[in-house]
Structure 1
Amino acid sequence: MNLPALFNGKARIDYTQDTLFGPLAKHVECQVSVQRRPGWLVVKVFQPLPEDLHDAQTVVFALEGRRTSGVVKDRQRLSDHSLRLELETQ
């Protein structure tokens, strides 16, 4: 994905969660800040965001008309109530 090193804006986020009955697909539109690193994306998702996004296993972002997917490798709730996700891109 050819995003600038730093991107701020609204993104559609498709994500999956593992449940006892198999993967559950969900989506949300949120304000994000995305920082690109080789093989990784660091995504900060701002409020309002769904409570269960913290438990996402895989994430697909639609940014500036382009889609990219990644596996959530680390997640952290921040003091401003946003969520920081580190994604290994696929």
Structure 2
Amino acid sequence: MNLPAQVNGKARIDYTQDTLFGPLAKHAECHVSLQHKPGWLVLKVFQPLPDDLHHAQTVVFALEGRRTSGVVKDRQRMSDHSLRLELETQ
């Protein structure tokens, strides 16, 4: 299947965070840019974004009618105040 190199749009993001009391499920709707790499994805989330999204352990997002899930392997706050998440797809 050929996937576009980059997809932009509004996505619903479901994410989990590990806490002392177990996993905590949260969600948000954000503008994103998605880049497909072999075996992984780069999800860039633009402002406004949840304050705690950078603590996410796993994410599931719906973009252009497709649901994708991944484990967050790396995260980086960008100079434009967006958040870059590197995801290993599941």
Is this a same-fold pair by TM over 0.5? yes
CA change 1:11–1:2 in 2 (3 A) is farther
Residue 70 of structure 1 corresponds to: 70
What CA distance in whole angstroms lies between the structure 2 residues aligned with 1:26 and 1:64?
A: 21
Residue 59 of structure 1 corresponds to: 59
Which of structure 1's runs of 4+ aligned residues deviate more than 3 A?
Answer: none
TM-score (norm 1): 0.96
- Equivalent AA in structure 2 for residue 28 of structure 1: A
Residue 48 of structure 2 corresponds to: 48
- Equivalent AA in structure 2 for residue 36 of structure 1: H
What are structure 1's unaligned runs of at least 5 residues? none
Residue 16 of structure 1 corresponds to: 16
What are structure 2's unaligned runs of at least 5 residues? none
- CA shift digits 1:19-41 (9 cap, x unpaired): 01100000000000000011100
Report the aligned-residue RMSD.
1.3
> 1:5 Cα shift?
1.4
Aligned to 1:51, the other structure's residue is in SS state coil
Between Structure 1 and Structure 2, how many residues are aligned? 90
Amino-acid identity (%)? 88
